Amino acid sequence: MDTSPDVVERSLRTEDPLAFVEAVGQSPTLPGRHASPPRGTVCVDGYNLALAKGSGIATYGRNVLSTLGRLGFQGQVLYGPRAARSTSNVLNETALVDPERPGRKLRKLDRFLRTLTSRAGRTAWPILPSGEVEWPARGGGRPEATGFWAAQDLFQIANRSFEAYRKETPVRFDASGGLRAPDVMHWTATIPLHARGVPNIYTIHDLIPLRLPHTTLDDKPGYMALCQAIAKRADHIAVVSETTRQDVIRLLGVSEDRVTNTYQAVHLPTALTSRSQADVTTELEGVFNLGWKDYFLHFGAVEPKKNLGRIVEAYLASGLTTPLVIVGGRAWLDEGETALLNQVMRDGGPSAERIRRYEYMPFSLLISLIRGAKATLFPSLYEGFGLPVLELMALSTAVLTSTGGSLPEVAGDAAISVDPYDVQAMTRGLRALDADEGLRDDLVRRGLVQAARFSVEAYEDRLKTLYGRVGLS
C-alpha cells in the first residue's frame, strides 16, 4: 500500500501479517487524476487505516480506495483524531498521523458529555492533502484519497456511546471547506456509526465472535447488538466470502438481496516478487542460516484462531528435522497457543533446535521467507476470507491450510486442507509435504492458477456491482 518496498517495514503484531502488501508502489490519488469528471465519491472509514501497525481490515480499506480510483470514482477517508479542529489545514492533516502521547486522556466530565451527546450526531470537517505532511510508511503511508474528513475522537466516543446506550452515532459532512461530500459511505468494519443523507454500506468480514466465541475477547451481547443494528440500518452489506455471506443471512436475518460477496484481490509488489531466486537464497542464508525450500513457515498474530498450538504439536509429533520458522507477536488469549512451544524452548535439546521464533520481521524479509519456504502452514480454525493463503500461492509456495470457515473457497484444490482440530491429519500433511517434491510442485502450479482467479480485474467488477446496488454507477 505505498512507498518503495525498501522502506516498508512492519510488525507482525497484526491481524494480517501481509497487511501492507497491496500499497507498495502505488501513488496517492490526487484531484484531477482522471481526465473526465469523477463518476461519484465514496468515503471509507479510517478506523483501521489509522492504526500504526496496520491490520487486515486496513489492507481491505486500502484495496477499496485504490480500486475506486481505477473505476473512476473519487475516494475519501473519515478519521477520528485526538486533536480538535485547527484553522490550519496542515495541522489538521498532521493530526491524522500524530501518535497518541502517553497520559493524554479526556477528562471524565468531557468524556461523559461527549458520550452522552454522541447519539445526537457529529460533524466531520474537511482536510485536503497538503503535500507537506509525510505519512509513516509502517502505517501504510498516505491512503489513495482525494481528501479526508475528521471528527475529534469519533470512533472512541461512538463505541463508548453504543456500549452505554445501544445507540449509533450519526455523522454529517461539512462541505463548506472545499471538499465534496461523499455520495456513498462505506464502513469497512462493524462500527456504530452511520452517515446522514447518503447510502451506507457496511462490510462484515466475519462473525467469529458469534461462531467461535472462545477465540475472542469481544463482549458477545454487545457485538450481537451492534451487528443487528448494522443489519437493520445498512443500505447494503458487503462480505468477503460466501461463508460469511451465509453467516450474515442466517445469524442476522438479512435478506439475500441485501448482501453482496466481493471476495478480495491478490496484488503483490513486483519489486519484491521479481527478485531472483539467487538473491533471495543469499539473503536467507545470510540472515537466517536457512536454505532455499529447506524449512516450514508459519506467520500471523498469536491468537486462538490462528491455531499455533496445534501446529507446534503436529510438527513435533512428525519427527521431521526440517526446521519450523514461526513469525508473529502476541495478540490475545495466546497462553494456550504458546504453552507447549514455550516449554519446548525452555527445555532446550533437539526439539528446541528445530524451531525458530521471531516476534517481529521487516516486510521485505517476510516476503523472502515466504518465497523460500518448503511449505507455509495456515490451518486456521476459521477465516472470513484468508487472504494470506492466496498471497502464499501467488508467491509460488506450497500451502497447508484447513477446512475452517471460508478457507476451502479460497484454497480450492490448490492446497493440502485438513480439519484444523485434527493434529494427526496435520502431522500427515507435514510429512507428505516434506517428503514429496512432486506434490509440492503440483501444489505450486495449482496455487498460481487459483490465485489468478482472485485478480484485481475481477475485484474491480465485483466492487462496481456493489456500488451499483446503492445507485452509484
Listed by start position, the domains of the chain span: 5-265+456-468, 271-452
How far is C-alpha 252 from the geometric centre of its chain's CA atoms? 23
Please check whether the two domains, 5-265+456-468 and 271-452, share a CATH topology: yes
Q: What is the pLDDT of residue 330?
A: 81
Half-sphere exposure of 385 (CA within 13 A, CB side): 24
- The answer to whether the beta carbons of residues 18 and 157 sit under 8 Å apart is no
- The rounded distance, in Å, linking the Cα atoms of 444 and 392 is 9
Residue type for 270, please?
Answer: T
Collapsing DSSP states into helix, strand and coil, what is residue 127? strand
**In what helix (H) or strand (E) does residue 125 lie, and over which residues does it extend?**
strand 122-127
- Residue 348's pLDDT is 82
Q: Are 190 and 227 in contact (CB under 8 A)?
A: yes
- Confidence (pLDDT) at 53: 66
- Cα gap 275→207, rounded to integer Å: 38
CATH architecture for segment(s) 271-452: 3-Layer(aba) Sandwich (3.40)
How much is the pLDDT for 18?
Answer: 45
| Residue of 330, 312, 342 whose CA lies nearest to 12 | 330
pLDDT at 8: 31
Residue 355 near residue 341, CB atoms below 8 Å: yes
Question: What residues are paired with 343 via a beta bridge?
Answer: none
What is the reported pLDDT for 428? Answer: 98
**Per-residue pLDDT in tens (0 to 9) along the chain, 473 residues:** 333 333 333 333 333 444 433 333 333 333 434 445 568 999 999 999 988 766 789 989 999 999 999 999 999 999 999 999 999 999 999 999 998 766 566 678 888 898 999 999 999 999 999 999 999 887 778 999 999 999 999 999 999 999 999 999 999 999 988 899 999 999 999 999 999 999 999 999 999 999 999 999 999 999 999 999 999 999 999 999 999 999 999 999 999 999 999 999 987 888 888 899 999 999 999 999 999 999 999 998 899 999 999 999 999 999 999 999 999 888 877 788 888 888 888 888 788 889 999 988 888 899 999 999 999 999 999 999 999 999 999 999 999 999 999 999 999 999 999 999 999 999 999 999 999 999 999 999 999 999 999 999 999 999 999 999 999 98
CA dihedral 90→92→97→98, nearest 10 degrees, is: 100
Cell of 310: 496445534
Assess contact for 345 and 357: CB atoms under 8 A: yes
3-state secondary structure of 326: strand
pLDDT at position 208 is: 96
The model's pTM is: 0.88
CATH topology of domain 5-265+456-468: Rossmann fold (3.40.50)
